[in-house]
């Protein structure tokens, strides 16, 4: 599997490098841009979107190479995620071009989660129960919908600095692929070889495509991924989380390990929601409550803030991999509790949970619901 994946990743990276500037030109021609404002969007001029479309097409190109050269690796589950991801991408493109309210976004994300579940990419990590029957089907579907909604909007809210969302997502994707590869053949993953292979084949070409995009998105960025890109990344991570899960404790072990690898976007969203609720602000009204915003407000440059988040993402990826591959379920859960507890303590100890001292400037426009800080 090494040679096919290397070829697919090389193709995805090359296409990402080629398509991203082309998409930037197309976005400017069509007027699909992000306009600056005085509060949450400090860039000096309108910035083109469509970066997400560029790395989706690059990812699809890498998968197509696998399908042509090594058809056994491009399974139906992989095509299902690509197809449902196209729907999520289209939703984001409409939001980037015209702006959408929360209802159509939620409807499309829920529909995409249902499509995955019906197609066999499903969350089934319920220990002690067979993955069949209504007793498992309904809670499994509910968990999957929550997983998709949470992951999509966590990545969307993380897209607030040049290079941030793409860098953290690429690290998480590589970590998830390493987790699946390390678990292949292990006792806790017995009977899950097919699902884990799909995770590796899905995650690595997408990470390569995103890295190609990041060449143009790193500060100073020449284009943004837009909601199309951030929602797509969150959706794909959610699909990978569903594939990592499986019946019994083994699936729960890998599913929770994957969650730890992706915990930075989730923790950032939780931190912002906590500060907004304590301040009496609407949860989905944009402000500077995010971890990365607070780093900038403390004197970090944008690049330093992004690098700090990348290092944290690498730490969480390493913790998730160690717990999922090298440790038993009990020891892994202990490691995760200690890691997340230490993270929460550090956020509180260093003042990241402190409430806003002053309200937003008069006349400022709040970000629309389910929008990131950008």
pLDDT tens digits for 190-219? 567 788 999 999 999 999 999 999 999 998
Matching residue, tokens 């937003």: 360
**CA distances in angstroms from 31 to 46, 47, 98, 191, 306, listed in the order given:** 9, 10, 10, 50, 28
Question: Under a CB-based contact definition with an 8 Å cutoff, are residues 14 and 52 in contact?
Answer: no
Least Cα distance to 140 among 233, 253, 246 occurs for 246
Q: What average pLDDT does this structure show over 63-87?
A: 90
The pLDDT of residue 186 is 66
Collect all residues with Cβ–Cβ distance below 8 Å to 240 and sequence separation of at least 6: 173, 176, 180, 199, 202, 203, 258
Q: What average pLDDT does this structure show over 306-330?
A: 95
Collect all residues with Cβ–Cβ distance below 8 Å to 178 and sequence separation of at least 6: 317, 321
Q: Per the structure block, which two tokens stand in for 35?
A: 């306009």
Alpha-carbon distance 339 to 322, whole Å?
12
Question: Under a CB-based contact definition with an 8 Å cutoff, are residues 347 and 271 in contact?
Answer: yes
Domain spans, the chain: 2-259
Alpha-carbon distance 141 to 3, whole Å?
36
Taking the chain, what is the end-to-end CA distance rounded to the nearest angstrom? 39
**pLDDT band, residue 189 (cuts 50/70/90):** low
**Total residue count of the chain as it appears in this document:** 374
Q: Taking 60 as the threshold, does the pLDDT of residue 109 lie above it?
A: yes
Q: What average pLDDT does this structure show over 323-343?
A: 95
Q: Of 82-96, 248-262, 312-326, 355-369, which range is least confident?
A: 355-369
Matching residue, tokens 């072990």: 253
Q: Identify the H or E element spanning 20.
A: helix 2-30
For 209-262, what is each residue's pLDDT tens digit? 999 999 999 988 999 999 999 999 999 999 999 999 876 667 888 999 999 999
DSSP three-state, residue 47: strand
pTM above 0.85, yes or no: yes
* SS3 per-residue string spanning 238-269: HHHHHHHCCCCHHHHHHHHHHHHHCHHHHHHH
Q: What average pLDDT does this structure show over 117-141?
A: 68
**pLDDT band, residue 369 (cuts 50/70/90):** very low
- Listed as own residue / partner, the contacts of 287-291 with beta carbons closer than 8 Å and 24 or more positions apart are 287/40, 287/356, 287/360, 287/373, 288/40, 288/356, 288/373, 289/356, 290/157, 290/158, 290/160, 290/373, 291/267, 291/347, 291/352
The pLDDT of residue 135 is 57
Q: Taking 90 as the threshold, does the pLDDT of residue 364 lie above it?
A: no
The pLDDT of residue 361 is 44
The pLDDT of residue 208 is 97
**pLDDT band, residue 362 (cuts 50/70/90):** very low
Instruction: Report the mean per-residue pLDDT for the chain.
Output: 86
For 13-65, what is each residue's pLDDT tens digit? 999 999 999 999 999 999 998 877 656 665 567 899 999 999 999 999 999 99
Least Cα distance to 150 among 85, 275, 68, 234 occurs for 234
Alpha-carbon distance 331 to 105, whole Å?
39
What share of the chain has pLDDT > 70, as a percent?
85
Q: Taking 70 as the threshold, does the pLDDT of residue 136 lie above it?
A: no
**pLDDT band, residue 277 (cuts 50/70/90):** confident
Q: Taking 70 as the threshold, does the pLDDT of residue 95 lie above it?
A: yes
Question: Under a CB-based contact definition with an 8 Å cutoff, are residues 120 and 76 in contact?
Answer: yes
Angle between helix 226-244 and helix 51-69 axes, rounded to 10 deg: 40
């Amino acid at each position: 599997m090494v040679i096919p994946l290397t070829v697919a990743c090389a193709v995805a990276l090359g296409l990402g490098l080629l398509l991203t500037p082309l998409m930037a030109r197309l976005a400017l021609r069509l007027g699909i841009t992000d306009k600056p404002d005085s509060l949450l969007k400090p860039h000096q001029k309108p910035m083109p979107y469509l970066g997400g479309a560029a790395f989706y097409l690059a990812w699809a190109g890498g998968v197509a190479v696998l399908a042509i050269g090594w058809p056994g690796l491009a399974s139906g589950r992989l095509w299902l995620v690509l197809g449902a991801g196209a729907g999520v991408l289209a939703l984001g493109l409409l939001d980037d071009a015209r702006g959408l309210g929360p209802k159509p976004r939620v409807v499309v994300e829920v529909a995409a989660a249902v499509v995955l579940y019906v197609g066999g990419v499903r969350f089934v990590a319920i220990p002690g129960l067979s993955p069949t029957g209504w007793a498992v089907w309904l809670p499994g579907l509910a968990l999957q919908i929550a997983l998709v909604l949470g992951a999509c909007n966590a990545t969307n809210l993380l897209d607030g600095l040049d290079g941030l969302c793409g860098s953290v997502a690429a690290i998480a994707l590589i970590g998830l692929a390493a987790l699946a590869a390390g678990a292949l053949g292990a006792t806790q993953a017995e009977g899950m070889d097919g699902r884990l292979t799909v995770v590796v084949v899905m995650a690595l070409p997408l990470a390569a495509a995103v890295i190609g995009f990041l060449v143009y998105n790193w500060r100073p960025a020449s284009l943004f991924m837009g909601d199309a890109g951030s929602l797509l990344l969150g959706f794909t991570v959610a699909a990978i989380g569903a594939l990592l899960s499986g019946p019994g404790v083994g699936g729960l072990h890998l599913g929770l390990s994957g969650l730890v690898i992706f915990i930075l976007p989730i923790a950032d969203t939780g931190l912002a929601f906590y500060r907004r609720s304590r301040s009496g602000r609407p949860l989905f009204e944009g402000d500077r409550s995010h971890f990365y915003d607070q780093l900038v407000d403390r004197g970090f440059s944008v690049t330093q803030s992004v690098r700090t988040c990348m290092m944290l993402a690498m730490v969480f990826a390493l913790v998730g991999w160690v717990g999922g591959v090298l440790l038993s379920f009990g020891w892994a859960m202990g490691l995760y509790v200690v890691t997340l507890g230490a993270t929460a303590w550090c956020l509180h100890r260093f003042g990241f949970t402190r409430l806003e001292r002053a309200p937003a400037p008069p006349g400022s426009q709040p970000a629309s619901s389910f929008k990131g800080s950008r």
